[in-house]
């Protein structure tokens, strides 16, 4: 990804990005049913998606011995997601079991992965919550993944939180949640999001000073002219 785009996406809100995507006709881009578990020090989570898909477990296949195989898709995902990417897990919204735990999450962090997004819970959630590593999930759940999940595919199109996620889609997460941006649109959306937030900072000042919504939000020609003066005064 363009470093300028990454830096812009680290500092704009997911709400702003949802608006920019809506302007381009994308309505289903915000992952439902998940939240931020950790409070990392690096700003927004930003990175291309590396995906893993689960199907329902089957008792003759999904035993603890399955993890003895280093090619087990879950273990392989942890070891093969590229640094700087976000591991996105399709858990079908299943909340009865965990989709991973502290050891696997720590391995992701050590390997330089950008973050973890799952529409299922994690186990060891209390310890993971203390990590300086972006994790978005459906809360905590102690039972292991093998009870309900059979990891089957890596880096294929998946559904996560009711949203289609394709490999290399751009994932952005803030304190509100996670949005998925088609990779081809990331540069222009990041640039337009920065401009939107500058305008909204000006509008918010006017609203705080007592301005009424009509003509201010959305801004009419007079408000836009005043905004240009404000920008020059502030050098933004």
Would the CA dihedral through 27, 28, 30, 32 be positive or negative? Answer: positive
| Mean pLDDT within 165-175 | 98
- Give alpha helix (H) positions in the chain: 3-9, 14-23, 73-80, 102-110, 125-128, 186-208, 221-234
pTM of this prediction?
0.96
pLDDT, averaged across the chain:
97
31-181 CATH pick, 3.40.50.2020, 3.50.30.40, 3.50.50.60, 3.40.50.300: 3.50.30.40
Question: What is residue 65's predicted lDDT score, i.e. its pLDDT?
Answer: 94
| Mean pLDDT within 3-10 | 98
Q: Is residue 64 very low, low, confident or very high in pLDDT (cuts 50, 70, 90)? A: very high
Q: How many residues does the chain have?
A: 236
pLDDT at 131 over 90: yes
Q: Is residue 41 very low, low, confident or very high in pLDDT (cuts 50, 70, 90)? A: confident
Question: What is residue 81's predicted lDDT score, i.e. its pLDDT?
Answer: 98
pLDDT at 216 over 90: yes
Asked whether the beta carbons of 4 and 194 are under 8 A apart, the reply is no
Residue 65 and residue 27: Cα distance in Å, rounded? 42
Q: Is residue 205 very low, low, confident or very high in pLDDT (cuts 50, 70, 90)? A: very high
Percent of the chain scored above 90 by pLDDT? 97
| Mean pLDDT within 188-212 | 98
| Mean pLDDT within 101-127 | 98
Question: What is residue 40's predicted lDDT score, i.e. its pLDDT?
Answer: 85
Q: Is residue 42 very low, low, confident or very high in pLDDT (cuts 50, 70, 90)? A: confident
The residue ranges of every structural domain in the chain are 31-181, 189-234
User: pLDDT, tens digit, for every residue of 136-166?
Assistant: 999 999 999 999 999 999 999 999 999 999 9
């Amino acid at each position: 990804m363009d470093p300028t785009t990454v830096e812009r996406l680290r500092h704009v809100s997911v709400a702003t990005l949802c608006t920019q995507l809506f302007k381009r006709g994308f309505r289903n881009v915000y992952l439902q049913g998940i939240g931020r578990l950790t409070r990392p020090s690096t700003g927004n989570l930003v990175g291309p998606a590396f995906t893993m898909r689960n199907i329902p477990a089957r008792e003759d296949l999904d035993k603890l011995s399955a993890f003895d195989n280093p090619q087990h898709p879950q273990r392989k995902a942890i070891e093969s997601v590229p640094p700087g990417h976000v591991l996105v897990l399709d858990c079908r919204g299943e909340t009865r079991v965990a989709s991973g735990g502290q050891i696997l999450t720590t391995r992701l962090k050590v390997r330089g992965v950008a973050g973890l997004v799952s529409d299922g819970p994690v186990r060891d959630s209390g310890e993971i919550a203390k990590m300086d590593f972006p994790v978005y999930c459906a809360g905590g759940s102690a039972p292991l993944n093998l009870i309900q999940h059979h990891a089957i595919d890596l880096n294929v199109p998946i559904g996560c939180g009711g949203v289609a996620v394709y490999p290399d889609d751009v994932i952005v997460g803030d304190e509100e949640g996670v949005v998925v941006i088609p990779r081809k649109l990331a540069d222009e959306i990041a640039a337009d999001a920065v401009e939107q937030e500058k305008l909204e900072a000006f509008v918010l000042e006017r609203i705080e000073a007592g301005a009424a919504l009509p003509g201010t939000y959305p801004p009419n020609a007079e408000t836009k002219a005043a905004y240009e003066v404000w920008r020059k005064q502030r050098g933004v």
